[in-house]
Amino acid sequence: MPVVKQEVLALSGDEAVAYAVKQSDVDVVAAYPITPQTIIVERFSEYVHNGEVDTEFVCVESEHSALTACLAASAMGARTFTASASAGLALMHEILYVTSGCRAPVVMAIVNRALSAPINIHCDHADSMVERDASWIQIYVENSQEAYDSVIQAFKIAEHPHILLPAMVMLDAFFLSHTLERVDVLPDDTVRKFVGARKIPLVRSHEGKLVPFKLDPETPVTMGPLDLYDYYFEHKRQQEEAMQRALQKIKQVHDEFGKICGRRYGNGLIDPYRMEDAEIAAICMGSASGTAKVIVDHIRAKGVKAGLLRLRTFRPFPSQDLIKALENVKAIAVMDRSHSFGAHGGPIFHEVRHVLYDAPTHPHVVNYIYGLGGRDMPQTLIHKIYKNLQKIVETKHVETPVQFIGVRE
């Protein structure tokens, strides 16, 4: 299929998300406003009030009810979307697990914002990192274009009958949410066709009949039952199996969409930049990756074999892709925009270093905690990280495995 002609728009990250939702034939949106996600619900309200979408929009009284209403509507067979950030996502915490446990493929955009206290509206990844174990697919985007592309892909991934897991798409507060960028958008019918109608799989009911997995008076099923030690464990195991299947599905949907729009983000799981012969590499998620690419170009020009591995999908974690992409790298700096207090480093560092334990090579892996509460991550600091990696390769010695960067000492 040839690449479809697209319209060029100037959209902020939030607007790009709202636009993607508008085109994805969503049945129910239930959301509660929170800075910096607000523009998403504002734009979507305009679409609803101007009759541009066939969507019921419920302005609920809390994030807890937002996700609950989406979950219940999803159980009815509807395509559903919500969006949140920071405290709002934290309030949803309980229902995040219920949503994945009910196998409801709700799609949610998260505008990554720091958690209180002290209260702060700016970007870091603490809010969604807290939820990494909630059995939601997690995709972190680098720019507004990718936010648009990823939301559309998320519906198709989450709703696939072999997956049936909710998915969240993360974009950085303000750096993306409120910044106008060029976004190429597909025609409405192309997106609608790509996402397609939601397919409801058949399941065996308690009476032994094969029935659609949704709330339907014709074929009653009980959802969300009390499930004790004799079955709960198997159900949790099934969620993990679906997560593992999602690795392939994310790649596949990303590829299909790439054929239509002509844009690709690595293989959909990891997005390597100049990694082919890299000896040193940073691993990064979100908008700081763009800055890191500039530094890679800069030091490459001086003959340093540097690369950047942008992690796009954090859940499921692309372990094998990561091992492969890092097989020839001697020193790695993992950049975490959140911290696991009391732990040895941030959450991405934990995952990466842990995965590399099984790799044939054992590169040095260090961790930089950066940008908490929206602290800027300028080129100079990223440059410093690569300099340190060069030093580690030269000396074969790591002085400080975990450090905070860009913070007053």
Partner 1 sequence: MASEWKFAIKDLAEKPELLMPGHRACAGCGPAVAYRQILKATRGPIIATNATGCMEVVTTIYPYTAWKIPYIHTAFENVAANAAGIETALKIMKKKGQLKHDHVDVIAFGGDGGTYDIGIQALSGAAERGHDFLYVLYDNEAYMNTGIQRSGGTPHCAWTTTSPAGRVIPGKPEYKKPIGDIMVAHGIPYVATASPAYWRDLIAKARKGLEVDGPAFLHALAPCPRGWRYDTGRTIEIARLAVETCVFPLWEVVDGEYSLSAPSKVIALKPERKKSVREYLKGQGRFRHLFTPEFEHIIDEIEHIVDKRWKLLLKKCGMA
Least separation in angstroms between residue 230's CB and partner 1 is 8
Least separation in angstroms between residue 216's CB and partner 1 is 6
Instruction: Give the CA distances from residue 393 to residues 112, 279, 303, 356, in Å, rounded to whole numbers and listed in that order.
Output: 33, 8, 15, 17
Least separation in angstroms between residue 27's CB and partner 1 is 5
Smaller CB separation from partner 1, 205 or 403: 205
Omega before residue 343 within 30° of 0, cis: no
DSSP E strands, 23-79: 28-31, 56-59
Query: Distance between CA 95 and CA 78 in Å, rounded?
Result: 18
Smaller CB separation from partner 1, 94 or 188: 94
Binding stretches for partner 1 (CB under 8 A): 27-28, 30, 54-56, 58-62, 64-65, 68-78, 80, 94-95, 98, 102, 206, 215-218, 220-228, 231
Smaller CB separation from partner 1, 64 or 384: 64
Query: Distance between CA 78 and CA 72 in Å, rounded?
Result: 9
Query: Distance between CA 155 and CA 86 in Å, rounded?
Result: 22
What the block records as the tokens of 48 is: 């609803």
Q: What does 187-221 look like in DSSP terms, one character per residue?
A: -HHHHHHHH-SPPPPEEE-TTS-EEESS--TTS--
Least separation in angstroms between residue 19's CB and partner 1 is 20
Least separation in angstroms between residue 136's CB and partner 1 is 16
Angle between helices 188-195 and 144-159 in degrees, nearest 10: 40
Query: Distance between CA 49 and CA 404 in Å, rounded?
Result: 46
Q: Which residue, 29, 6, 4, 2, is CA-closest to 17?
A: 29
Smaller CB separation from partner 1, 234 or 277: 234
DSSP bridge partners of 168: 108, 138
Smaller CB separation from partner 1, 75 or 270: 75
DSSP bridge partners of 313: 139
Amino acid at 168: M
Least separation in angstroms between residue 223's CB and partner 1 is 4
Instruction: Give the CA distances from residue 315 to residues 127, 134, 137, 144, in Å, rounded to whole numbers and listed in that order.
Output: 15, 10, 5, 20
Smaller CB separation from partner 1, 147 or 191: 191
Q: Are 339 and 373 in contact, with CB atoms under 8 Å apart? A: no
Q: Is beta strand 364-370 parallel, antiparallel or unpaired with respect to 313-315?
A: unpaired
Assign 304 to helix, strand or coil: coil
Smaller CB separation from partner 1, 227 or 256: 227
Smaller CB separation from partner 1, 16 or 26: 26
Least separation in angstroms between residue 98's CB and partner 1 is 5
Smaller CB separation from partner 1, 193 or 354: 193
Instruction: Give the CA distances from residue 166 to residues 82, 220, 298, 341, in Å, rounded to whole numbers and listed in that order.
Output: 11, 23, 39, 27
Least separation in angstroms between residue 401's CB and partner 1 is 40
Least separation in angstroms between residue 333's CB and partner 1 is 41
Smaller CB separation from partner 1, 80 or 150: 80
Least separation in angstroms between residue 18's CB and partner 1 is 18
